[in-house]
Amino acid sequence: MPLFEKLQIFPHFQGSSYSVSISDSDAIRNIYVANSGFPKDARYTNFNLGPVVSIFSAIDTEYRNTRAKAVAPLFAPARLRVASEPHGVIGRCAAEFVDQLRAFKTAEVKVDIVDLSARLSIDVVTEYLLGERYGGLGEHTSLSLHDRRQTKLSANPFIFAIVAFSRFSLLPNWIFRFVYTFSSWINSSDEVVRSFVQLERFIDRVMGSALSAKDGESPLAPADSTYQGRLLQVGISRTEAAAQSKAIVFAGADSTAVMLATILFHLVNNAHARARLLREIRCSKLRATTPNNQDTSAALTDPQTLPYLRAVVKEGLRLGMANPTRLTRVVPATGLCVGSIHLPPGTVVGCAAYMLHHDPDVFPDPFAFRPERWLEDGQDEGLRRPDMEKSMIPFGAGLRACIGKNLAQQQLYETVMAVVDSEVLVGARTCQQRIEMIEWFNGFGLSLARCALQGGHKVIATSRNPSRTPDLVSEVEGKGGKWIGLDVTDSKSAQVVDNLEKSGDQIDILVNNAGYSVFTPVETITEDELRAEMETMYFGPLRLIRAVIPHMRKRKFGVIVNMSSGAALEGNPSMGIYAGAKAGLDGVTRVLAKEVAPFNIRTLTVVLGTFNTSMPSKAVFGTVPLPDDYSGSFTEKMIQAIKSGQFVPNGDKDKAMKAVYEVVVGEGIGAGHESEKLLPLGADMAVRVKTVQNYLAHSLEVFGDVTNNVNLDK
């Protein structure tokens, strides 16, 4: 890779200082490892826990070392192996995780693997480190499996709120404080407050147990066996120990859950890898239990000795990236050389896992799950490259790497091994790759996005100018989505699809929602007005559809949803071009459905009646005055009704988009109807559909004889 591609320079808002993103793995040793690595920069104060400096955010080395050394013995490999035995914390939690997966499979009920992984992770982290299980796996077990699908881990709203602010963490602290305060205000909710209170009570309880152990009142929980207890032993205050304990729950539970869900997702979709891993696990267990076998049972007790399992977990960590952003440091007085470039003292530098883990020169086919690349002895299928190991920084690097990485990896190894060995993934399939692209927002788009986000999907929302809706952008991105600028009338707009795919954002569901009407008779609409409507509602969506199909075809999965209108069936005067654009796309979609069906791609046309969106209030009217001959006509009355605000839709957009969501994912009203291609919504649609039926039937009644008598004479 050319040097200039390995350095990206960003203004750092501090005089002439700059922040440099380095995607050259040769720089990792100097920045993070040699001589304890470069010091952290001031932006890490963004991660302080109010007045408490966390182990992660500490810039003062001595401050950090006092706390890190106190808890380090808890992460010793030998201790973790004991916890992984059948009756150990990790072993028991992994077994319960498998049992719950099996229950969902037996009942043929879909399971939210991210949520279930979060329940497992928070239980492992809390019981192993804090001495008491949070109870994530046990929550909601009194409900039926169908009802449990609608519930989520109680700690998640607060954890998500904390995780969400990390997108601002690269900002200088003075800007961060303002943005974070605003974001917190936007995203605050009763659900977050309840989640916070429950987690706070849990931390208070484990702190009480730790204080009792410290005072010798709790012989069952030695003070040196817990994270908070060891902090108290070295003189850390109760307040700080509680805050540090809360931080380790945030850091450990969420990121490990995402990594586990990533690995299991890929194993579901890669039967070959799953079968190979199962053979390795079974052979290891057989060797360990063979009588008089001279080989030790290390392979059974330590899954990290299994080559292919190790490859699967490493590939999952590469793709999942616990922290994809730059891990920033300050260049010391000696400066830093990256290739032929010298960076002066004081420059903020950092390497990002996202850049390093997806470097095509180091990881061929970088966005594909290919565990074989990590194998040795010629089993790598030509994928292994010399710099792979040093380009992997899922937990950071050097002495300031993630303090809990050993626990995270142990949980991943044990759980993946248990899940694959149980064969519970056999016959499983993913509903989709949980990335959706919703094009334009007018009310329908936002409602559908909220349904998708609530359902655990990732949403990529687009609009012409995201800066005009900062609150909506914050809402979507705060829940794990993404918002990008897109003008569908731009002839190059389809490039956004390829760019997203190249960056790893696979689009499995495309929703075309753009639409507006110029209210004017067909005869008076100008050429520019006509073309603008057609670009927005016909050519623009077609560009995106044509761009996304090759990617969906390659993956043998995809859903294309086009929001149409009752006007496409039976339009009102003054909406001719709107009706024509929607009807045109509907016609193309009907043919498209037949073309892409062999590739497991389906289409859904949603024919909408009148709903409470912003469309009537943002109506556009023709620039050419209405000719006098239209005076008193239905066309004039229609335009006047829109202008005066007398037109009051009676449809609820939120209910409609809930129905769309359920039909797309096959839940609720959509269960068993995944193959349907047309979804009419709105009370007025029943009348319109009947009108069209009568219109067609009448034509056959009148002209039926001639219809069947225009053939060539034999």
Please state, as a whole number, how many other Cβ atoms lie within 10 Å of the Cβ of residue 388: 19
Pairing of strands 348-352, 435-439: unpaired
Pairing of strands 326-330, 435-439: unpaired
Greatest alpha-carbon pair distance for the chain in Å reads 106
β-partners of residue 11 are 18
Whether 37 contacts 31, CB under 8 Å: yes
Residue of 21, 54, 517, 564 marked active site: 564
Cα separation, 342 vs 336, in Å, equals 6
Pairing of strands 435-439, 458-463: parallel
Cα separation, 136 vs 139, in Å, equals 5
Cα separation, 238 vs 229, in Å, equals 10
Residue with tokens 């922040």: 19
Residue of 134, 578, 630, 661 marked active site: 578
**Length of the chain counted residue by residue:** 714
Q: Strands, DSSP E only, in 251-374? A: 326-330, 336-338, 341-343, 348-352
Nearest to 368 by CA among 126, 584, 551: 551
Whether 448 contacts 436, CB under 8 Å: no
Whether 481 contacts 460, CB under 8 Å: yes
Whether 207 contacts 92, CB under 8 Å: no
φ/ψ region of 169 (left if φ > 0, alpha if ψ in -120 to 50, else beta) reads alpha
CB contact burial 550-583 (16+ within 10 A = b; e otherwise):
ebbeebebbbbbbbbbbbbbbbbbbbbbbbbbbb
β-partners of residue 326 are 352
Q: Decide if 578 is catalytic.
A: yes
The one-letter code for the residue type at 27 is A
Pairing of strands 482-485, 348-352: unpaired
Whether 250 contacts 199, CB under 8 Å: no
Q: Decide if 582 is catalytic.
A: yes
Cα separation, 686 vs 312, in Å, equals 53
Cα separation, 509 vs 305, in Å, equals 39
**In whole angstroms, how far apart are CA 663 and each of 214, 527, 688?**
56, 38, 22
Nearest to 565 by CA among 446, 689, 663: 689
Residue of 6, 110, 246, 582 marked active site: 582
Tokens of residue 193, six digits:
């407050």
Whether 179 contacts 195, CB under 8 Å: no
Cα separation, 208 vs 219, in Å, equals 14
With DSSP H G I counted as helix, E B as strand and the rest as coil, what are the percentages for the chain, rounded to 5?
Answer: 55, 10, 35
Q: Decide if 184 is catalytic.
A: no
Tokens of residue 133, six digits:
């299980």
Whether 456 contacts 115, CB under 8 Å: yes
User: Which active-site residues does the annotation give?
Assistant: 564, 578, 582
